[in-house]
Structure 1
């Protein structure tokens, strides 16, 4: 194993130990972890390998696809527009995207998109991976699709469609693709090395994702267990490490799932919420808008992820609340988002803490990977 690099305040020695233990006992390949406390980096560690063959060390500026951890920054983009008075979260989506009113969706609200309650967790017709790379085709199919359930009544995780739904509203309001808006309005002002898709100039810095081992259920097993809504959300189209390592995926705009960044960048983007809308003197949201992100929309068994969680969960306006189960630490008002296979971002305003974790060996979990649990536990034990 390559030595762990970076720095860790003495107070957080247990965090370094947990990060090292992920390599020693939890099959970590390459990873990075950043902890911001009151906006200052208290932990910034990285180590391991950027490829399965172990030929490229993980460097300070190594990028990696973080899957659904991308959804947090995307939601922030919508909240920036709302904070500027350009987007009303309680307005019908069709007010900004008229074609969306088709198939009985005229009363779907913007807040329903942000909280996975729009009823559009997946497309009803087969949608190939290459078709996912076509923004106009994917958004037009979503606009024409009928909801799977009555919008607004409960959540059903919009694994891939979330980025196109929220992203198309951002595009209609801001006049630019959501990835471009994120770059201009969040990443560049914060100095965060994060992008939707992978810029060609950064191709030599990206880590390859490695698929889960035998602990991952086969697609056939998933199909046997999942209902039609979950199948549409998670397997139409099927994705995975091979797809995410391809040039087509990296060149596309899939703002629910193909954000590329460092742990430092993830911590900074989630750190905006931990800091009440600002980080290191850069204000992104007003305090009121930052608090609105944490507005819970009701606990329920999620229609897509319900089988994977014993308890009910609650999605706020773009992020998951930690809740009584402590999914994102002991503060039930903390928020965060996992990426398939292990990555996550976390914001805890009450404790002034933001976390960013990225890795390339995907675990078999859609959420709550043991590596994540160990790191969060060590952070809160050190506060």
Structure 2
């Protein structure tokens, strides 16, 4: 058994390095950047040449600044086995970055007066009050403070097809801790609870996936799907990465956050084991390559789309909730509430590291700039920075061990993006000073 694992790992290592050598000779990088963002394109390309980006998959990176698309890059393979290159319209699984789109839907309901943070979930969904949940507020649910990280019965694909039956299981499941006293990432249940709540307050009684399609994707031309139509499967990249190459897991040793999480998991000091046990089909990697599974709505972790699409959404949010043409996604002031409603970071019962959520969004800070959005397993990261008016999204089909926005592939191009923005602002200020002098 050990010899077989060793041979598989050795073969994966040899294949990866052979692929890296091939891509170094002929990297396949495409896209466009606006003047001033050329260094981002160069770094994105260099990451493929140096092997930071794996040759067994592909990635895409997109940025909106001041409401305009300024970076739109993609490279690598959509399917390494058949040497199919990543194309402009290639999509991939966003994993938990999907939760950011689910959080947006809930914020839209609040914006329209259909939901209130301070009301209990049971006010809108009476059956939810079972087993100690009657005092759980909408705010607690969105901030992962409800204690509902797992369910009484396992969640299967069959249940995802039956929204009524799924709603019964979610309603009967008791909290794992006293609601409101702590927070623990609701990795697989967050989107499911949001969808059930949305069905009950939406005048059309739509699911979250339907609401997103009709209220966000279609009117704002967003190429992202929570429940992928079968006819679009040909555009989805094949998932590869750490789960089929054990050696890749060694890379978490270089990151303190990932190492801490791994150690807590191994020693049983986190709720993740129970969460994974009750999530069954939702955590099976092979399920995410089946068209029938992709068609099911799982707003927690299986949204599929392009980096360009999610960057556009966050670009609109960073721009105060509206496009440059004046089309509104959220009313003025709603985006600001994401930060004003935030609480100080505390230790998460799932990750066992400090984190902070607000209205369903994951809060981060980069070089003093406050960001909101959501990372995803495998290295995905999508966010908005209202101060810098930035919408950013990085998606990859190569599944890395980094899932908290700490993937080295993303971090390198995020840093370069901010540097470009700073340089552009400095140049603009310099031009204005010269004009005043004249």
> Which residue among 110, 129, 142 is the counterpart of 2:170?
142
Deviation at 1:192, TM superposition (A): 0.7
> Which residue among 196, 200, 211 is the counterpart of 1:181?
211
Deviation at 1:3, TM superposition (A): 2.5
Partner Cα distance (2:268, 2:322) in 1: 40
Greater Cα radius of gyration, structure 1 or 2: 2
Partner Cα distance (2:231, 2:336) in 1: 36
Partner residue, 1:225: 267
**Contact 1:197-1:253 at 8 Å conserved across structures:** yes
Partner residue, 1:321: 363
Partner residue, 1:298: 344
Partner residue, 1:60: 88
- The verdict on how the C-alpha distance between 1:60 and 1:45 changes in structure 2, with shifts beyond 3 A counting, is same
Q: Secondary structure at the match of 2:402?
A: coil
Q: Which protein is richer in helix relative to its size?
A: 2
Deviation at 1:240, TM superposition (A): 4.4
Within 5 Å, give how 1:34-113 maps onto structure 2.
34-113=62-141
Partner Cα distance (2:47, 2:157) in 1: 32
Misfit runs of 4+, over 6 Å: none
Partner Cα distance (1:354, 1:82) in 2: 22
Q: Secondary structure at the match of 1:34?
A: strand
Structure 2 unaligned runs (5+)? 1-22, 251-261, 422-438
Q: Secondary structure at the match of 2:310?
A: helix
Q: Secondary structure at the match of 1:103?
A: coil
How many residues align? The count is 373
> Which residue among 329, 340, 351 is the counterpart of 1:284?
329
Partner Cα distance (1:285, 1:273) in 2: 8
1:167 aligns with 2:195: yes
TM-score (normalizing by structure 2):
0.80
**Contact 1:133-1:248 at 8 Å conserved across structures:** no
Q: Secondary structure at the match of 1:69?
A: helix
Deviation at 1:17, TM superposition (A): 2.5
Within 5 Å, give how 1:21-32 maps onto structure 2.
21-24=46-49, 25-28=51-54, 29-32=57-60
1:372 aligns with 2:416: no
Structure 1 unaligned runs (5+)? none
1:9 aligns with 2:34: yes
Deviation at 1:228, TM superposition (A): 5.8
Deviation at 1:378, TM superposition (A): 1.1
Q: Secondary structure at the match of 2:300?
A: coil
1:176-218 deviations in whole A, cap 9, x for unaligned? Answer: 111010011111121110110211221111111114121338x
What RMSD, in angstroms, separates the aligned Cα atoms of the two structures? Answer: 2.1
Partner residue, 2:371: 334
